[in-house]
Amino acid sequence: MSEPSTERRRQYPFHQIEPKWQQYWEEHKTYRMPNPGEHGFDPSKPKYYVLDMFPYPSGDGLHVGHPEGYTATDIVSRYRRKQGWNVLHPMGWDAFGLPAEQYAIKTGQHPSITTGRNVNRFRSQLKRLGFCYDWDREINTTDPEYYRWTQWIFLQIYNSYFDESTKTARPVSELEAQGLSREEIDARRLAYVAEVQVNWCPGLGTVLANEEVVDGKSEVGGFPVERRPLRQWMLRITAYGDRLGDELEDLDWPEGIKRHQREWIGRSEGAEVKFSIDGRDDSITVFTTRPDTLFGATYMVLAPEHALVDSITTPDQKAAVEAYRQQVASKSDMERTALAKVKTGVATGGYAINPVNGERIPIWIADYVLISYGTGAIMAVPAHDDRDHEFATQFGLPIREVVQAPAGNTEQCFTGDGISINSPLMDGLPTQEAKRKITAWLEERALGRKTINYKLRDWLFARQRYWGEPFPVIWRDGKHEALPESELPVIPPPLEDYKPSGTAEAPLSKATDWVRYSDHAQRETNTMPQWAGSCWYYLRFTDARNNSRFAGEDAERYWMGHNHKPGGVDLYVGGTEHAVLHLLYARFWHKVLYDLGYVSTPEPFQKLVNQGLILGEDGQKMSKSRGNVINPDHVIAEYGADSLRLFEMFMGPLEQVKPWSTKGVEGVYRFLGRVWRLFMESADEGDTYTLSPKVQDANAPMPLLKVLHETIRKVGADVEAMAFNTAISQMMICTNELTSAEVRPVSVLATFLHLLNPYAPHLSEELYSLLHANFPSLPAGPLSELPWPKFEEKYLIEDTIEVVLQVNGKVRGKLEVPANMDAEALKALALSSDRTQEHIAGKEVRNVIVVPKRLVNIVVK
RNA sequence: GCCCGGGUGGCGAAAUCGGCAGACGCAAAGGACUUAAAAUCCUUUUUCCGGAAACGGGAGUGUGGGUUCAAGUCCCACCCCGGGCACCA
């Protein structure tokens, strides 16, 4: 019975081949990678750790963006394995998160049930793509056996402080030994509790994470979000600001991402300067990066929320100040920033004294000064700061120039480096020297000191959510207390009702039995943010089933160390959306663990590659509402997994943004069909195939050997460079060559299958096993376990080469010459050639440029 | 506004160090096979001018300049598209 007429005939029987090999791999655990000391581990091989950013298993299943990066790492893994490396290539699930919780709110079903269902779907989809993951190492961040260690790491952070002298984390027990008080120690822990401004969303009745707020509105529902102070757990990531910036240096990351992280950290050096308040004992400290402009400070600005505002404000300004503060408080972040085209503010009526010249300057409040950065107060130098300039112009405040711009400067408000003027202490000094001098002057008089500030804020680590890791912490008499390790994991109780409470209380607070730890102690009811689980998952992969440590020491040292580089994971591939947060948070945790001696490298990820977004066929971002979403399941059903893999790699460079093309999938599908027909032919219209009579155990002719060895060379070099698209082009060229050959030597075909194997593992395995069945002298498979072929230089060397003849840079002819012809001979030959003679006749030859093996350019006049 | 990424045929793209622009694939056209179609195989395909053709000549990598014997590639200025950031003193 032939195929139904409506269905096109398959290029090759991928629908039989692919499940067959997937089953084989599963049954034989082909891709299981033992750890050091385990049976089957070969310590003589070098290690290579290839990691994908693990997915959040959403209810929608895999989209075509996932297999892009996953195929790239799969190719690299298979290639390295064939090259004789021990390759660690694992997969898991970042499964805590909002959608599962939202679904639970709607249905009352525990999130672990939906999560389990989604994970099963994702896993089977990934298996259908033929990826060579070691599934014995699969992890799930919502598994208590996993998050017990997430909680354990939190305890290590909680029990540490940052030692400024060594710039490392140290156990707080050292502070206890020094006799510090409970309060002093708590104030220095890397995990601490603070009252901070959070995003409160009245519409949803809950607190939102920063990343859940878009343009001042909730990402879900689009309700307005306001700031509100709340008691929160914080992680002291700012302590690591310098190291997180400096230690990017030796990582093989895209420069753009490194820059992005450095900007995010936003280190800036400057000085804190104390201004006394006129007529009071108090003082206000400001932060400035330009202490050299102190003589140009003509007013001062406090953030509206600044603690001293009330006491400074004079009675006649009280009403105006109150009204302004009211107005600012009611503004969302969006209104405060995006719409802040025009500066606003009011005078407090109070005055400060400039410490360098005793001048009395007015104190204003304005929302262009942020309470959360620096000291929440600035000295305004309108002549040399754009924002101050704008404000001063608007409110008619004096502008005094104290830096002379270099000649030719036309800017009204000069913000660059120049020479100090009108500044008695530093007149004539260039900016950098002036800064040093005035800072020293201030320090001598205890009026200020050198300071470093960061844009980076401490990490707000608590969420008022159900579906996240509970904190291993209890509260007794209003004080927090770590639970002992023996009580891990702390498992959240099931709830009747997962809805947010409507107050700022976390959902867990509704489980009263669970919350009550003892007569005098209650459990912490906040949970950790989704980032927590992904901060260390790469470590768990090194020893995923260890139940006495987050990962065994030997396994961690082998997979993360051993490459003499700062980063442990050799290759990490994922999307740019994690350029800052995930990568910064993971680096922070890793450094704490490194300082405490738990891991062997200072950095988690040595080489980072970002895959580019795949757009819809219309060139727009894929989205349900546009209706341009491509479902990988459908692509696999119609063309097979090998075609999907191959197309995703053939579309263009991995890092680039590129549109989907169904026609393009058909193109690579046809290519795989051509490869199939190099080996097999079919007599009827069905799925019965026999070996092609052109496949023979014969000596390969030179032209075939040449293209084959060129293909070995190019495909190998391109995998190393992750230029998969051009590797595929070369394999197409090789296939076209073989298609037109009358005889297809077995040795050439077998070698070609090795090259194709990382890209199209199912088809290549099948053809190899068919070939081996007919020619038993070939090494027995599976192909993926056989060594990668080596190219031989002798087949690449050309006897004769084509040299281009140019006259005045224009191509006028070509010459076939022996490859070893020297420059002089080439020059003589070029000058006497008929083709060049036509163009140089009657003209003066002024110069002849000879580029051996490439071209001769004759310059005439 | 600032910071990235990108602009090459009808389309996705290629071009190791400055050395023949457009490999490979898609689409299109023609041919072979077929009663016919699909599939497959072969050929053509940057563009303009001349030529029946072989071929020859000119132009051409967003725009305008520059460096060079030679520029997609290096330098300067600008335009357009995509993404990110948002007053951090």
Please give the pLDDT value at position A4: 35
CA A416 to chain centre: 33
Instruction: Assess whether A378 (CB) lies less than 7 A from strand B.
Output: yes
Please give the pLDDT value at position A735: 95
Contact A105, A751 (CB under 8 A): no
DSSP letters spanning A599-643: SS-SEEESBEEEPPPEEPTTSSBP-TTTT-PPPHHHHHHHH-HHH
In 3-state terms, what secondary structure has residue A795? helix
Per residue in A452-490, pLDDT (tens digit) is: 999 888 888 988 889 999 999 999 998 999 999 999 999
**What is the CA angle A48-A50-A56, rounded to 5?**
155
* Residue A479, token pair as written in the block: 């004080």
Ranges A238-242, A586-590, A615-619: which has the least confidence: A615-619
Place A610 in a pLDDT band, splitting at 50, 70 and 90. Answer: very high
Query: What residues contact A194, with CB distance under 8 A and at least 6 apart?
Result: A231, A232, A234, A458
A80-103: average pLDDT: 93
Please give the pLDDT value at position A475: 95
Q: Is A681 left (phi over 0), alpha (psi -120 to 50) or beta?
A: beta
Q: How many CA atoms lie within 13 A of A784 on its CB side?
A: 27
Would you call A677 exposed, middle or buried from its count of C-beta atoms within 10 A (0-12, 13-18, 19+)?
A: middle
Contact A132, A31 (CB under 8 A): yes
Please give the pLDDT value at position A684: 64
Q: What is the DSSP letter of A239?
A: G
Please give the pLDDT value at position A738: 94
Contact A573, A51 (CB under 8 A): yes
Q: Which residues pair with A450 in a beta bridge?
A: A271
Q: Which residues pair with A825 in a beta bridge?
A: none
Find where tokens 């009403």 sit: A319
**What is the CA angle A449-A259-A215, rounded to 5?**
90
Q: Which residues pair with A666 in a beta bridge?
A: none
Please give the pLDDT value at position A333: 57
Dihedral of CA A512/A518/A524/A527: which sign?
negative
Ranges A346-360, A454-468, A643-657: which has the least confidence: A454-468
Contact A649, A71 (CB under 8 A): yes
Tell me the pLDDT of chain A averaged across its residues: 90
* Residue A268, token pair as written in the block: 């800036």
Give the distance, in angstroms, between residue A713 CA and nucleotide B13 C1'. Answer: 21
Please give the pLDDT value at position A8: 61
Q: Nearest-CA neighbor of A831 among A809, A861, A859?
A: A859
Q: Which residues pair with A351 in a beta bridge?
A: A362
β-strands A608-610, A571-574 pairing = parallel
- Percentage of chain A modeled with pLDDT above 90: 65
The DSSP H or E segment spanning A168 is strand A168-171
A309-318: average pLDDT: 93
Alpha carbons A760 and A672: distance in angstroms, whole number: 9
Instruction: Assess whether A809 (CB) lies less than 7 A from strand B.
Output: yes
* Residue A777, token pair as written in the block: 């002298």
Place A222 in a pLDDT band, splitting at 50, 70 and 90. Answer: confident
Please give the pLDDT value at position A338: 53
In 3-state terms, what secondary structure has residue A560? helix
- Percentage of chain A modeled with pLDDT above 70: 95
Place A216 in a pLDDT band, splitting at 50, 70 and 90. Answer: low
Q: Residues 635-654 of chain A: which lie with beta carbon within 7 Å of strand B?
A: 650-653
Instruction: Assess whether A808 (CB) lies less than 7 A from strand B.
Output: yes
**Is the pLDDT assigned to residue A503 strictly greater than 80?**
no
Please give the pLDDT value at position A34: 97
Per residue in A555-581, pLDDT (tens digit) is: 999 999 877 899 999 999 998 888 888
Question: Strand A479-482's sheet: what is its strand order?
Answer: A479-482, A473-476, A521-523
Find where tokens 């997430």 sit: A150
CA distances A447 to A355, A427, A450, Å, are: 7, 20, 11
Instruction: Assess whether A624 (CB) lies less than 7 A from strand B.
Output: no
Q: Nearest-CA neighbor of A273 among A334, A357, A332?
A: A357
Place A546 in a pLDDT band, splitting at 50, 70 and 90. Answer: very high
Contact A724, A759 (CB under 8 A): yes
User: CB A31: neighbour CB atoms within 10 A?
Assistant: 21
For A542-549, the CB contacts below 8 A with 24+ separation are A542/A35, A542/A49, A542/A88, A543/A35, A544/A90, A544/A92, A544/A136, A544/A137, A544/A138, A544/A139, A545/A136, A545/A137, A547/A145
Alpha carbons A340 and A852: distance in angstroms, whole number: 63
User: CB A73: neighbour CB atoms within 10 A?
Assistant: 25
* Residue A381, token pair as written in the block: 């130098």
Indicate the Cα dihedral angle A749, A755, A758, A760, nearest 10°: -40
Q: Which domains, from first to last, does chain A contain?
A: 21-137+536-615 (3.40.50.620), 152-262+458-531 (2.170.220.10), 268-453 (3.90.740.10), 690-795 (1.10.730.10), 798-860 (3.10.20.590)
Gap between the terminal Cα atoms of chain A: 76
**What is the CA angle A29-A112-A624, rounded to 5?**
90
In 3-state terms, what secondary structure has residue A694? coil
A217-241: average pLDDT: 82
Please give the pLDDT value at position A584: 93
Instruction: Assess whether A259 (CB) lies less than 7 A from strand B.
Output: yes
Instruction: Assess whether A857 (CB) lies less than 7 A from strand B.
Output: yes
A543-559: average pLDDT: 96
Give the distance, in angstroms, between residue A55 CA and nucleotide B43 C1'. Answer: 48
Alpha carbons A251 and A768: distance in angstroms, whole number: 39
CA distances A237 to A79, A189, A402, A442, A460, Å, are: 38, 11, 37, 30, 10
Instruction: Assess whether A819 (CB) lies less than 7 A from strand B.
Output: no
Protein residue at shortest CA distance from C1' of B58: A810
Give me the phi and psi of A860, to 5 degrees please.
-125, 165
Buried b (16+ CB within 10 A) or exposed e, A291-304: bbbbbbbbbbbbbb
Protein residue at shortest CA distance from C1' of B24: A729
Nucleotide nearest to A664 (CA to C1'): B26
Give the distance, in angstroms, between residue A95 CA and nucleotide B10 C1'. Answer: 45
**Is the pLDDT assigned to residue A5 strictly greater than 70?**
no
Instruction: Identify whether A489 is preceded by a cis peptide bond (ω within 30 of 0).
Output: yes
Q: Which amino acid is at A598?
A: Y
Q: Which residue has the higher pLDDT, A221 or A313?
A: A313
Instruction: Assess whether A9 (CB) lies less than 7 A from strand B.
Output: yes
Nucleotide nearest to A857 (CA to C1'): B69
Place A231 in a pLDDT band, splitting at 50, 70 and 90. Answer: confident
User: CB A174: neighbour CB atoms within 10 A?
Assistant: 13
Contact A705, A794 (CB under 8 A): no
Instruction: Assess whether A183 (CB) lies less than 7 A from strand B.
Output: no
Alpha carbons A733 and A744: distance in angstroms, whole number: 15
Instruction: Assess whether A578 (CB) lies less than 7 A from strand B.
Output: no
Place A1 in a pLDDT band, splitting at 50, 70 and 90. Answer: very low
Greatest CA separation found in chain A? 109
Nucleotide nearest to A848 (CA to C1'): B69
Q: Is A836 left (phi over 0), alpha (psi -120 to 50) or beta?
A: alpha
Q: How many helices (H) and strands (E) does chain A have?
A: 29, 38
Find where tokens 């053939």 sit: A650
Alpha carbons A580 and A263: distance in angstroms, whole number: 10
* DSSP-H helix ranges across A790-850: 793-796, 823-832, 834-840
**Is the pLDDT assigned to residue A332 strictly greater than 70?**
no
Please give the pLDDT value at position A94: 94
Q: Residues 654-693 of chain A: which lie with beta carbon within 7 Å of strand B?
A: 656-659, 661, 663-664, 666-668, 670-671, 673-674, 677
Per residue in A24-82, pLDDT (tens digit) is: 999 999 999 999 999 999 999 999 999 999 999 988 899 898 999 999 999 999 999 99
Instruction: Assess whether A812 (CB) lies less than 7 A from strand B.
Output: yes
Contact A129, A645 (CB under 8 A): yes
Instruction: Assess whether A733 (CB) lies less than 7 A from strand B.
Output: yes
Q: What is the DSSP letter of A743?
A: S
CA distances A428 to A19, A298, A380, Å, are: 79, 21, 22
